[in-house]
């Protein structure tokens, strides 16, 4: 069983009433939702704000990305063994994490995200997930304590994945392909751009499975179109004039195109 470790001294954290403490006296409060904030001041990185979290939850709860969710859960079931530990790095509000947890009741599921807003929202999706506010660049778990690491649309932190994975552990990632949401960009920008897809080779890992998940999402209300736009990074990089173009749309069909890669660790740090 994996245990959380102190972000200051890396010692094991133990629950004590309404907080978690290590042997050196570092103490972290447990929220009313059961989550713990292990993100040290001065090391905070940008996390999704309430607006983005609300938009993503509204959109995902409509089932628009359920084909991707189902594929990722199927991979978790394929590679998990009973009693194994699965970490979701950048879990957000736990749309994917909760489905994996429900499908694998015999496994320990842990989720971390740099956004306190997202982690607290995720606590309401599935009670069996251990959730902490933390950075993927400083994962609060002991060395070699995880069997599977998911990193879905989150910053890549290969050295930390290798550190927390047991030798031969599994790393699963999902990423947008070239034409993902291109129709949404066409509706907003005069010169829409396509995504750049990075090479699949990852140092310290062997690629063992590579697939694509492509489908059309039929958005049937302006509220859903706006929610999709606001849950993406485009929202904060777009002028008010371009953003206003979406206000006139009531229907939009977008291409949802994702790459999914599964790796096995070949080294550990």
DSSP string, 214-237: EEEEEE-SHHHHHHHHHTSGGGGG
Please give the average per-residue pLDDT across 146-159, as a whole number: 95
pLDDT of residue 269: 44
Summarised one tens digit per residue, pLDDT across range 24-33 is: 999 999 999 9
What phi and psi values does residue 188 have, to the nearest 5 degrees?
A: -105, -45
> Is the confidence at residue 81, as pLDDT, over 60?
yes
The answer to whether the beta carbons of residues 76 and 99 sit under 8 Å apart is no
Q: What is the pTM of this model?
A: 0.94
Please give the average per-residue pLDDT across 166-175, as a whole number: 96
CA atoms within 13 Å, Cβ hemisphere of 63: 1
CA atoms within 13 Å, Cβ hemisphere of 67: 13
> Is the confidence at residue 268, as pLDDT, over 50?
no
pLDDT of residue 45: 59
> Is the confidence at residue 1, as pLDDT, over 70?
no
Please give the average per-residue pLDDT across 179-193, as a whole number: 94
Quote the CA–CA distance of 130 and 161 in Å, as a whole number: 18
Structural domains in the chain, CATH included, are 14-265 (3.40.50.150)
Query: Which of these, 175, 123, 121, lies nearest to 151 by C-alpha position?
Result: 175
SS (H, E, C) 104-160: CCCCEEEEEECCHHHHHHHCCCCCCEEEEECCCCCCCECCCCEEEEEEECCCCCHHH
| Burial class of residue 195, CB neighbours in 10 A (0-12, 13-18, 19+) | middle
> Is the confidence at residue 57, as pLDDT, over 80?
yes
* Percent of the chain with pLDDT strictly greater than 70: 96
The answer to whether the beta carbons of residues 235 and 141 sit under 8 Å apart is no
Query: Which of these, 133, 256, 129, lies nearest to 184 by C-alpha position?
Result: 256
């Amino acid at each position: 069983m994996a245990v959380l470790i102190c972000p200051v001294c890396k010692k094991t954290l133990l629950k004590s009433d309404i907080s978690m403490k290590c042997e050196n006296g570092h103490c972290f409060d447990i929220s009313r939702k059961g989550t713990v904030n292990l993100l040290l001041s001065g090391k905070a990185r940008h996390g999704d704000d309430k607006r983005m979290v609300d938009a993503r939850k509204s959109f995902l709860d409509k089932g628009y990305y359920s084909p991707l969710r189902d594929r990722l859960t199927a991979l978790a079931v394929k590679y998990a063994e009973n009693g194994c530990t699965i970490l979701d790095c950048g879990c957000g509000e736990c749309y994917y994490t909760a489905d994996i947890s429900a499908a694998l009741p015999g496994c320990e599921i842990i989720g971390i995200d740099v956004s306190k807003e997202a982690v607290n929202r995720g606590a309401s999706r599935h009670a069996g997930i251990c959730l902490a506010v933390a950075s993927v660049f400083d994962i609060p778990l002991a060395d070699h304590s995880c069997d599977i690491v998911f990193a879905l649309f989150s910053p890549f932190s290969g050295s930390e994945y290798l550190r927390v994975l047991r030798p031969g552990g599994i790393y699963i990632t999902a990423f947008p392909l070239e034409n993902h949401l291109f129709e949404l960009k066409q509706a907003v920008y005069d010169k829409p751009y396509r995504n750049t897809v990075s090479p699949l080779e990852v140092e310290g890992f062997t690629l063992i499975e590579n697939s694509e998940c492509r489908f059309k999402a039929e958005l049937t209300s302006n509220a859903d179109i706006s929610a999709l736009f606001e849950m993406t990074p485009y929202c904060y990089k777009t002028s008010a004039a371009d953003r206003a173009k979406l206000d006139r749309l009531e229907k939009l069909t977008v291409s949802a195109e994702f790459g999914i890669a599964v790796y096995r660790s070949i080294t550990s740090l």
